[in-house]
Structure 1
Amino acid sequence: MGMLASVYTDDEERGHAIGIALGGLALGVLVGPPFGSVMYDFVGKTAPFLVLAFLAVFDGALQLFILQPTKMEPESQKGTPLFTLMKDPYILIAAGAICFGNMAIAMMEPTLPIWMMETMCARKWQLGIAFLPASISYLIGTNIFGSLAHKMGR
């Protein structure tokens, strides 16, 4: 996000770029649990980890090739100290909202599959599919709220 914010200095371009980045994150959240549970159930328990290892190495190689970190220059401006940011009430409200918004899904991720196996006798591939509604709403939300934030302004 910081790299996008430094590259796209215009507010409209920055909003679109961050919206696309968050859309990619949401797509990963959408695809991840169903993919992992289906691969685990039908291919084997090592298959999702091997696919993820390959994707991580491939992503790292792409980042080294495209971003070329050796050619990057340090920021010309000094960042604001963390203590100063923590005193800003708007930052605290935003951080609190993000924290509490993510707590629901963070509590459900480890407990819902166990509950589904014990109560519903769900098969392993069904455990990841249960997260599709939350993932789809996250994907839709990232695309809608990016444009809304630009229209509403800072």
Structure 2
Amino acid sequence: MITILFICTLSLSFGSISCKNDFVTNQAALFVFGDSLFEAGNNNYFDSLPGFRSNYWPYGKTTFQFPTGRVSDGRIMIDFIAEDAWLPLLPPNLQPGYSSRQLTYGLNFATTAAGVFAATFPGVVINLFKRNKNIKINIHMFD
């Protein structure tokens, strides 16, 4: 199921993007949804339990030399896909300070232990309903 969702997300992401200033481009964009396989650091910005974060050694030591929140000691699969599409590393959607210009390349909504239902680790991880709220906020940046 996750693979099907990932493929659908990937195939829908490579199209035209327009922003509120009517800037249209054929550049690729990648919007990522998933769990720890695709986590780029969202749990660092969410009040989750420390066991659901990857912001300590050895995570990130190989590529970044510091913990990034990726559940890997280096890059994750989505980083390689972004690189292949000539995109920068996608920021976690909860990371403060990204611009609408950066958003045209895509955004990473994945969180460790992501659940569909609110009953999945309540108060510990970001469930689908809370994630949808975050997505709606980011979509308004294109309006």
| TM tier, smaller | under 0.3
Give 1 or 2: higher strand fraction: 2
Answer with 1 or 2: which has the greater Rg.
Answer: 1
TM-score of the pair, normalised by structure 2: 0.25
Give 1 or 2: higher helix fraction: 1
Q: Relative CO higher for 1 or 2, CA cutoff 8 Å, sep ≥ 6?
A: 1
